[in-house]
Amino acid sequence: MKTLLFCMLGLSMVACAPKKTENGNKDELSMLVGTYTNGTSKGIYSFRFNQETGTVTPLDSVEIPNPSYLIPSEDGKFVYAVSEMNDSTAALNALAFDRETGELRLLNTELTLGADPCYVSTNGKEVLTANYSGGSLSIFPLRKDGTIAPVDTLFEGTASGPDTIRQITPHIHCAVFSPDGKYIFATDFSADRILRFVLHPKDIVPHLSAETTDIAADSGPRHLIFSPNGKFAYLINELSGKVIAFSYDDGKLEQIQSINADTVAARGSGDIHLSPDGKYLYASNRLKADGIAIFAVNAENDTLAKVGYQLTDIHPRHFNITPNGKYLLVACRDSNTIQVYERDENTGLLKDMEKDIIVDKPVCVQFVPPFSH
C-alpha cells in the first residue's frame, strides 16, 4: 500500500518497482527529501536509492510543516529538519530514522526564535540553524538520545548591502562548522560578509570573533562549503552569481578567485557542491536559464575553470551527489521534480537519465550511508 500511495502521488515508475535490499549493500543509500508543504506534500519523504543503478524505491513519509532543509546525523540514526515558517512557529525538528525500513519518527521540536530557518548543520554536539527572515543563527545543544534542547545561543546578522529590496533587512542563509572543528562560519547575506565564531572545548557557547570575511558589495553570500582536504572553501553568492574560492587555514579565509556561475544576471544562484573526489564543482542557478554551472578544480591550487552548463527543470534550489560520484540529483521546486543526472567522472558533465522522481515542491535531497549490522 505504501508503494501504491507514492505511485498515486505521481512518483516515476522507476520508483514504483519495489526492490529488496541486502543489509550492508554499499550501493543502497537511504535518501531523504525535504519539501514545502503549501501544496500536496506531507513533509519529509524517505527512499532507497541505488547509487550504482539509479533505481529509486519509496519507503516512508512523515508530516512536518515546510521541512525545506534537513541533515542526517553522522551515524544516520537521527535527522534534523527545519520548519521554515515566516512567524513565531518557525522551528527545528529532531527525528529518529531507521535506515533499514526508511521509517521516520518525530522525537521533539524546538522553536528557532528566528523566522524562516533555511539551513541546518551539526557536529554531533550542537545543531545550527540559519534563520533567513529572522536574520539570525540559532544554536541548539544535542542530548544523548538525539533530541534537541531549547535554543542556547542566538546571533544576529546585519543589513548594509546596496540592494534596497533583498538586503534591506538582515538574513543569515547558511551556518557550517569548519573542517578542523574550531569554528562556525555563517553567511551574512545582507551585509555581504562571512561571520566567524570561535568554538571553545569547555564552553558550549561560541564567541563571535572580531574577524569577518568581507565579500564584494551586492554579492549576497548564500552557501559555503569546504574541500575534502579542508584547505579550501567555496562560496556561492546569490545576487552576483559568482563562486568565490578561498584558501583556508585555522579560521582564516583568503580569497584566491572569483568566477561567474550565473552569466545572465538572474540574481538567483542557489546551491554549491563538490564531487566526492574534489575534482569538479557544481553551482545551481534559478530565475533565468535555470541550471547547474560545472567547474573543473585545479589539482594544484584548487582554482576553478568553467567546463559546462546543464539546463534543468524550474528552480533548482538544492542538489546533491551520491557518495560514489556517479549521480547528481536536483530538487527542482517549481517543476515538482527531482531530476536524476548521471555524472561523467572524467569530464564532470551531466546527462539527464530521464528518471524524474515526482514530489510536490522538493527543495532538499540528502543521502544517508548504507545501514549495517
Q: pLDDT value at position 15?
A: 40
Q: pLDDT value at position 204?
A: 67
Nearest CA among 119, 120, 126, 212 for reference residue 173:
119
Helix (H), strand (E) counts: the chain: 1, 29
Res. 206 pLDDT band, cuts 50 70 90: confident
Domain boundaries, the chain: 1-62+312-373, 64-152, 157-164+179-311
- Compute the average pLDDT of residues 292-317: 97
Please give the full DSSP string across 172-236, using - where no structure is assigned.
Answer: EEEEEE-TTSSEEEEEEGGGTEEEEEEEETTEEEEEEEEEEEE--TT--EEEEEE-TTSSEEEEE
Helix (H, G, I), strand (E, B) or coil at 8: helix
pLDDT digits (tens, 9 = 90+) for 331-363: 999 999 999 999 999 999 999 999 999 999 999
C-alpha to C-alpha distance for 75 and 371, rounded to whole angstroms: 9
pTM, rounded to two decimals: 0.93
Residue 296, exposed/middle/buried by CB under 10 A (0-12, 13-18, 19+)? middle
pLDDT digits (tens, 9 = 90+) for 62-103: 999 999 999 999 999 999 999 999 999 999 999 999 999 999
Nearest CA among 228, 310, 240 for reference residue 273:
228
Q: CA Rg, the chain, in Å?
A: 19
Q: pLDDT value at position 371?
A: 55
Classify each residue of 320-341 as buried b or exposed e, where b means 16 or more C-beta atoms within 10 Å of its C-beta. Answer: bbbeeebbbbbbbbebbbbbbb
The answer to whether the CB of 44 falls within 8 A of the CB of 67 is: yes
* The C-alpha cell that represents 370 in the structure block: 548504507
Res. 153 pLDDT band, cuts 50 70 90: confident
Give percent helix, percent strand, percent coil of the chain, each to the nearest 5: 5, 50, 45
The answer to whether the CB of 162 falls within 8 A of the CB of 218 is: yes
Q: What percentage of the chain has pLDDT greater than the value 70?
A: 92
CATH topology of domain 157-164+179-311: Methylamine Dehydrogenase; Chain H (2.130.10)
C-alpha to C-alpha distance for 155 and 42, rounded to whole angstroms: 31
Sheet of 43-50: strands edge to edge? 56-63, 43-50, 28-35, 362-368
Q: pLDDT value at position 201?
A: 78
